Amino acid sequence: MDITTGSREEAREEEPGWLGIEEASPFTVKSKATKVTADAKRWSSLVNATLVVLIMTMPPLIFIGGRLGAPTVWIKSTVANLGAPDGEESNKDVLLGGLLVPGFDKQSCASRYQSVYYRKNMTRLPSPYLIKRLREHEALQRRCGPGTKPYIRATERLRSEQQVLDSNDGCNYLVLISYRGLGNRILATNSAFLYALLTNRVLLVDPGHGNTLPDLFCEPFPGSTWVLPPDFPVTNFRDLDEAAPESYANVVVNRSRSVTGLRFVYAHLDHDASQANRLVYCDDHREFLHRVQWMILRTDQYMSPGFFFNPAYESELQRMFPRTDSVFYIISRYLMHPTNEVWGMVTRFYNSYLRDADERLGIQIRVFGDENKSAQHVLDQILACTSREHLLPAVASTGGGGGAPPLMTSSGSKAVLITCLSSWYHDNIREMYWKSGAENGEVVSVHQPSHEGRQHWFHGEHDMKALAEIFLLSLTDKIVTSGQSTFGYVSHALGGLTPYITYRTMDETVADPPCARTVSMEPCAFTVPHFDCVKKDYTVDIPPRTATIRTCEDVFWGVKLTEAEA
Ligand code: GDP
């Protein structure tokens, strides 16, 4: 990530029953959500949902009736076809082993049902416990989200400047201030969702200054919206910073954990968060935070590794993610479904340029600073990396000059997907394989979807292109990403790819070695607690490492989740 650019402007081990989660669980609430805000427009097909519920509950009834026959066949094929591209019969598990719920309108969010046809099979499967917790969380969002009576009551209390503690509705909220580049925003959203899950809070995401969130992602929760409504009563919430009286550090250090008189607590877990504010990672949510109905969170970071330092979350995290290195991967498959506009860009490009290749290599190039400056050392470093790791074939030394080119080649094909703000790197690599053939006879084609020149802030179309490229990168077989780039982190983690990461140098030289295969597919987290979460003494600097939390290859102060070595 580039933190120098941009501004602030900018339970039990059981299988979940089929739609068998109690609406009230895990709270004891009597009032029922009656109305969903118009913002939840993507959940448009109630009829569809009802049909699915009927379909899914009918087979046992028919079986009990002893009339296995034509109706059962019809039901099975109807369910199997849910989500399949039109006209395509398939037995692909579009719902990813129960990670996703059926019933969303297939037309309004095609990616939710089609991704499985483009992605490799999942290498990490959701645990039954996680699935159960997700269904509970969906019920919570539906019961307490915007448009419901509990939400109206909660926002009215906030608006009337009352102290907002101990709500009777059992509805607590986490508002995520979303800003910075898309990679940062996705990391923040993914990990904020994990925090919402751990603390039973409804997640509401600030759509950003350009209101770009609805352009990018479909609603993830059925019958509810995750978009923070525009009439959210804390009007200046985007200006909150560490100095705010409501900041977590202030409550813990200066107010002796007293939240009296406060309407909300503000968690500042941005890249520059002080160690005192990072205490929130170690909060067991029992002491005082559970009484606070509204939490507002600012982060541009991947927070999830930080929660693993908290003993209070240990067993819950273990049950949700028996494999530690699957956190981002599984949550992103659950949460991040690009809108039809973005998904169309992904699929059209993929089908045109990548689908038919024997192998797809993604190369993500992020040049911090002057994006438009052509950096020879960056190109040299990428070529050194792809050569050393045998990701790209060497070009024939005879060049294009003398030798007769072969009539045909049967040595396979490789499609290289390059993403970058500049087209210079793409042009050079493509020309290299145009002027000379690959030494091993492979056909190498080089493609780049866009070259936007520079990063734009809060610009819907620009963000949509960026998101399409992140998803395209995630569909490749192998990937090279740029060190310290959250755009790169998201691209490989979304695809479940363990990347080759190029080291960022500050003196315009080629790093030696130029790149390294990382220890895990998880993104790197830059801002985690540097102290003992049990003692909570944030003045003692203890580098955060455990058997499953290791130092990032490209950022010595960052950590990433890994699977423990055997
Ligand atoms: P980071 O700065 O590399 O950590 O990544 P971010 O995604 O947080 O911010 C960079 C922003 O610059 C992206 O969100 C895009 O707006 C833009 N950008 C950077 N690289 C690319 C690219 O390869 N393609 C496109 N379309 N946009 C890019």
Q: Ligand 1 test: best mutation among 4, 178, 182, most atoms within 8 Å of CB?
A: 182
pLDDT of residue 353: 98
Quote the radius of gyration of the chain (alpha carbons, Å).
25
pLDDT digits (tens, 9 = 90+) for 185-236: 999 999 999 999 999 999 999 998 888 899 999 999 999 999 999 999 999 9
CA of residue 475 to ligand 1 center, whole Å: 18
**pLDDT computed for residue 257 by the predictor:** 87
What residue type is 492 in one-letter code? Answer: H
Using most ligand atoms within 8 A of CB, pick from 7, 417, 485, 487 the residue to mutate for ligand 1: 487
Cβ of 466 below 6 Å from ligand 1: yes
Question: Cα(60)–Cα(546) distance, rounded to whole angstroms?
Answer: 47
pTM: 0.85
Which residue lies with its CA nearest to atom 9 of ligand 1? Answer: 181
- Measure the CA angle with vertex 563, ends 334 and 127; round to 5°: 35
Q: What is the mean pLDDT of residues 144-165?
A: 89
Cβ of 244 closer than 6 Å to ligand 1, yes or no, is no
Strands 515-517 and 500-502: what pairing?
Answer: antiparallel
Residue 5 has what pLDDT? 40
Is pLDDT above 80 for 151? yes
Query: Which residue from 190, 455, 480 has its CB within 8 A of the most atoms of ligand 1, so it is best to mutate?
Result: 455
The residue-averaged pLDDT of 164-181 equals 87
Q: Is 482 helix (H, G, I), strand (E, B) or coil?
A: strand
Sign of CA dihedral 300, 302, 305, 307: positive
β pairing state of 500-502 and 559-561:
unpaired
Residue type, 464: M
Q: Residue 50 has what pLDDT?
A: 38
- pLDDT (mean) for 252-269: 90
Residue 459 is predicted with a pLDDT of 86
- 8 Å CB contact between 413 and 358: yes
Atom of ligand 1 nearest to the CA of 450: 26
State residue 565's pLDDT score: 67
Q: Which has the higher per-residue pLDDT, 327 or 257?
A: 327
Tell me: the pLDDT tens digits for 317-350?
999 999 999 999 999 999 999 999 999 999 999 9
Torsion of CA 295, 298, 302, 306, to 10 degrees: -50
pLDDT for position 261: 86
CA 69 – ligand 1 centroid, Å: 54
DSSP 443: E
* Residue nearest atom 2 in ligand 1 by C-alpha distance: 1
Q: What is the pLDDT of residue 337?
A: 98
The top-scoring range by mean pLDDT among 94-103, 233-242, 345-354, 528-537 is: 345-354
Each residue of 77-119: pLDDT tens digit?
333 333 444 444 467 899 999 999 998 888 999 999 999 999 9
pLDDT band at 1 (very low <50, low <70, confident <90, very high): low
**Is the beta carbon of 486 within 6 A of some atom in ligand 1?**
yes
How many angstroms separate the Cα of 246 from the Cα of each of 177, 265, 305? 15, 5, 25
What's the pLDDT score for residue 369?
80
Q: What is the mean pLDDT of residues 424-430?
A: 97
In angstroms, what CA-CA distances link 403 with 396, 429, 432? 10, 21, 16
Which pLDDT value is given to residue 286? 74
- Residue 474 CA, ligand 1 centroid: distance in Å: 15
- What is the per-residue pLDDT for 103? 85
Residue nearest to atom 5 of ligand 1 (CA): 487
Picking from 499, 123, 473, the residue whose alpha carbon sits closest to that of residue 333 is 123
Does 438 sit in the ligand 1 pocket, CB within 6 Å? no
With a 6 Å cutoff on the Cβ, whether 183 touches ligand 1 is: yes
CA of 82 to the centre of ligand 1 (A): 34
Q: CA 206, 212, 215: angle at the middle one, nearest 5?
A: 120
The response to whether residue 367 sits with its C-beta less than 6 Å from ligand 1 reads no
Q: Is the CB of 523 under 6 A from ligand 1?
A: no
Cα of 371 to ligand 1 centre, how many Å?
10
How high does pLDDT run on average in the chain? Answer: 83
Q: Report d(CA 123, CA 220) in Å as an integer.
A: 22
> What atom of ligand 1 comes closest to residue 465's alpha carbon?
26
Q: Looking at residue 402, what is its pLDDT?
A: 61
Residue 118: φ, ψ to 5°: -105, -25
Give the separation between CA 217 and CA 106, rounded to whole angstroms: 14
Residue 184 Cα: closest atom of ligand 1? 8
- Is pLDDT of 480 > 90? yes
The CB of 462 under 6 Å from ligand 1? The reply is: yes
Give the model's pLDDT for residue 37.
38
Q: What b/e sequence results for 150-178 when a residue is b if at least 16 CB atoms lie within 10 Å of its CB, and e otherwise?
A: bbebbbebbeeeeebbebebbbbbbbbbb
Q: Which are the contacts of 191, defined by CB distance < 8 A and separation ≥ 6?
A: 299, 301, 302, 303, 304, 307, 328
Lowest mean pLDDT among 235-249, 311-325, 334-348, 403-417: 403-417
The amino acid at 182: L
Q: Which ligand 1 atom is the nearest neighbour of the CA of 2?
A: 2
Q: Where are the beta strands (DSSP E) in 129-171?
A: none
In the chain, pLDDT over 90 holds for what percent of residues?
64
> What is residue 508's predicted lDDT score, i.e. its pLDDT?
84
For residue 59, what pLDDT is reported?
35
Per-residue pLDDT averaged across 27-50, rounded? 35
Contacts of 254 (CB under 8 A, 6+ apart): none
Q: How far apart are CA 142 and CA 29, in angstroms?
A: 13
CA distances from 482 to 187, 383, 389, 517, 554 (A): 16, 13, 15, 12, 9
Q: Please report the atom of ligand 1 found closest to the CA of residue 419.
A: 23
Instruction: Indicate if the pLDDT at residue 58 is higher than 50.
Output: no
Q: What is the pLDDT of residue 178?
A: 86
Compute the distance from residue 181 Cα to the ligand 1 centre, in Å. 6
So what's the pLDDT on residue 290? 86
pLDDT, position 544: 80
What mean pLDDT is predicted for residues 518-538?
91
C-alpha 448 – ligand 1 centre gap (Å):
14
* CB distance 184 to ligand 1 below 6 Å: yes
Q: Name the band, by pLDDT with cuts 50, 70 and 90, for residue 53.
A: very low
